[in-house]
Amino acid sequence: MTIYAAEGPIPAVIARKAIHLLDEDERKKVVKTKELWLDIGAKDRDEAAKSVSIGDPVTLELGYQEMRNNLANSPGMDNKTGLWVSFEALRRAKKKGGLNVALYAVATVQEEIGLRGAITSAYGVNPHVGVAVDVTHATDCPTIDKTQEGDIKLGGGPVIYRGPNMNPRVVDRLRSAAESSEMAVQWGASGRGTGTDANAIQLARGGVAAGLISIPNRYMHSAVEMISLDDIDQAADLLAQFALEIEKDADFTPK
């Protein structure tokens, strides 16, 4: 583990009673968070208190790892992929040239606790159209029911979502951008609010034409979230092409 203290990162380990010292009943129980502690190697309480403070954030000391078939795993792929795709799409659109509209790439915060960053960002930018970038469950591994979660594969391309959060003309334009780029995409659907930044974008100010593309993510919200590097590359191309195809007077009013 790493503790981010005022003086800088401090290495630590999660500790509990050694397995050799557990009695039979203790061995059968799942350890509770309150029964764990972080050991930074301090000699005593006073030394520990000089280095760390109550409320210092703690993260798992894990890193980025590339795998075969152009896959990669890392903690936080849920957010890292969206960040990379959004800014890389902006860079690629600028490089290609020919934009008819102003284009913004925004890295939002606190999505998991109320879409807060998207609410303030959408209000501040006041976009005519906005596309959220998030992740969705890759179902190409054991124990996942594809009849409930859909058939989504790593390396199958970004997922374009349809549903009440997504403006149908935005969806059509994303489809058109994929076709004009001869790009493979996958499809997802949600019959209610998605819980992504697309919700906040859609409801900003007087309402915004919203879309959602998602990156297939295997083992979501674990320390080894796995994605395809091909998927994020194609997602950046898809968003760049989508932006390049928007006319100055584009109308997103659903028919």
DSSP-derived secondary structure for 28-91: HSPPPGGG-EEE---SSHHHHHHH--TT--EE-----EEEGGGEEEETTHHHHHHHHHHHHHHH
Closest of 139, 108, 137 to residue 201, by C-alpha: 108
Tokens of 239: 């968003």
Contact between residue 208 and residue 222 where contact means Cβ atoms under 8 Å apart: no
Q: Computed from CA positions of residues 136, 141, 147, 151, in that sequence, does the dihedral angle turn out positive or negative?
A: positive
Q: Is 179 left (phi over 0), alpha (psi -120 to 50) or beta?
A: alpha
Residues marked as catalytic? 111
Q: Identity (one letter) of the amino acid at 114?
A: G
Contact between residue 53 and residue 7 where contact means Cβ atoms under 8 Å apart: no
